Structures are given as C-alpha cells and as structure tokens.
Amino acid sequence: MLIRVLLFAAARDHAGADSVSVELPAGATVAALHTELSRQLPALTPLLARSAIAVNHDFAEDSLVLSPGDEVAIIPPVSGG
C-alpha cells in the first residue's frame, strides 16, 4: 500500500522535500513506517525518534495499523522563545 508522508519544519529540511510516498505491506503499523522512513531517508533517523506522528490529522501510536491512502504527518519538536 502507498502511504503519503507530509514533512514539516526540520523533517522537511533533512529530507529536502515537503512530502514522500512510502510503499508498505498491507497491515503495516506506524512503527513499520518509521523503520522504512529511516531506511529510505537516513538523515531523518535522529529526528524521527523525537517527532510526533499524526495519521489523518490525529496523533498516532506506533501500534496503529495503517490503511491505503492514509495521510501521515511527521511533526518535529518545536522550540523557541
């Protein structure tokens, strides 16, 4: 199944793109997506460990099973003053 992943802030900067598409097997979880993103975009690996993941506009746990066409967003931590 094809999953579209939106990248924001530092994630976008590390990947050099606003979004990526990731092919995963049916029944894959958010954790599997995390693993595949790290494989395809190694520069994102340290940031992914600190980022929130939202699926279809709701924050998601690693155990959530993804469905074809889901929209996933990687939301890095924000800091500033």
What are the pLDDT digits (tens) for 22-61?
999 999 999 999 999 999 999 999 999 999 999 999 999 9
User: Sorting pLDDT into bands at 50, 70 and 90, what band is 20?
Assistant: very high
State residue 34's pLDDT score.
Answer: 95
44 domain residue, yes or no = yes
What is the arithmetic mean of pLDDT over 8-29?
Answer: 94
- Evaluate whether residue 81 is within a structural domain: no
Assess if residue 53 is contained within a domain: yes
- pLDDT value, residue 78: 80
- Indicate whether 81 pLDDT > 70: no
Number of domains in the chain: 1
Q: Report the CATH number that the domain containing residue 22 is assigned in CATH.
A: 3.10.20.30
Q: How far is CA 8 from CA 15, 17, 41, 69, in A?
A: 10, 9, 15, 19
In a domain, 80, yes or no: no
Q: What is the domain extent for residue 56?
A: 2-75
This prediction's pTM: 0.89
Which of the four pLDDT bands, split at 50, 70 and 90, describes residue 63? very high
57: left (phi over 0), alpha (psi -120 to 50) or beta: left
